[in-house]
Amino acid sequence: MSELESIRKLSAVLARLPGVGRRSAERMAMKLARDDSGFIRNLMDALAEVQEEVCVCTSCGGLTEKTRNPCSLCTDSRRDGRMLCVVEDPGDILLIERAGDYRGRYHSLMGKLSPMKGEGLGDLRVDALVKRIEAEGVQEVILALGTDVESDATAAFLSHSLAGRKIRVSRLAFGIPAGSDLSYADPVTLARALKGRQPI
């Protein structure tokens, strides 16, 4: 395989990462190809370590150490097992945890309904969600999904699927970001903020 072919192969692999387009992947591959600082070796070591030590939690779908599965969030007896926060991606769990206010448990769907990307119900952890609700006595499911069309479709499907159960299904409120001005909000955000208004 020639050097140029190997760079094209590396670009194609990098372009499969979320948020990395074709051109960005090409720039990364070129940078890596001319590296002489040891960065590639460090990257390879870090990737190997992640592959050896990290896995998906069998309960929530978050990331955890292979030696600690189910994860610490699922086994912490101080967390409220009656609340289940449903997210699209394991990274969303970390974001909500950093906020520091939620003390329930989590469930990652590992995606969202996206016919354009070929992602359907079979690709999501919906069956595992239903089993957890039944087995763990969940009383409220909080849909902490994005605000795009695909996330809205996923939320609507889950809400409809869980409608016959004796649980409360809620969704994160959408509104004006903290520290922002109304003049910067788009019409959809303003409409959602008005619908999700709360008493003070």
Q: What pLDDT score does 81 carry?
A: 96
Q: For 8-64, how does the pLDDT look when each residue is reduced to its tens digit (9 = 90+)? A: 999 999 999 989 999 999 999 999 999 999 999 999 999 999 999 999 999 999 999
**Per-residue model confidence (pLDDT) at position 1:** 46
107 and 18 share a domain?
no
* Dist CA 151 CA 7 (whole Å): 35
Report residue 114 as tokens.
């996206």
Residue 127 lies in a domain: yes
- Considering the domain boundaries, does residue 42 fall inside one? no
Residue 59's closest CA among 81, 42, 34, 37?
81
In this predicted structure, the answer to whether residue 2 has a pLDDT above a threshold of 60 is no
Domain assignment present for 73: no
Write down the pTM of the prediction: 0.84
Asked if residue 48 is part of any domain, the answer here is no
